[in-house]
Amino acid sequence: MSNLIAVIFTTEHRGVFFGYIDKNEDLTKETLGLKDAKMAIKWATKKGICELASIGPNDQSLIGAKADIPVIHKITAVFLVEKEAEEKWILA
């Protein structure tokens, strides 16, 4: 996945998705897709969604199964995911 970077998308409909995008992707678009995506169904962070990007999901988080999502509409934010957090997302 050398051409891909780990990100979290949030959506207008309160969706929170972890996955990978091409590092050259235009992040100004409202519609993007994710590879190897996982949805955060529930998270019990103390510092909100930013904690999911910097530290990752914890043992009280509920993370969905992995799937490619070709299109996600109405993206409201894109967070770059730290390596430590990425490893936890992969294991979740």
Look up the CATH number of the domain holding residue 47. Answer: 2.30.30.100
Pairing of β 32-42 and β 16-22: antiparallel
pLDDT score recorded for residue 52: 97
Q: How many domains are there within the chain?
A: 1
User: According to the model, what pLDDT value does residue 17 have?
Assistant: 98
Q: What is residue 9's three-state secondary structure?
A: strand
What pLDDT is attached to residue 86? Answer: 98
**pLDDT given at position 2:** 76
**For residue 29, what pLDDT is reported?**
87
Report helix, strand or coil for 80. strand
Q: How far apart are CA 52 and CA 43, in angstroms?
A: 8
Q: What is the mean pLDDT of each run of 10 residues along the chain (92 residues)?
A: 90 96 92 96 93 96 97 95 98 96
Task: Name the residue range of residue 67's domain.
Answer: 4-91
Q: In the prediction, which pLDDT does 43 show?
A: 93
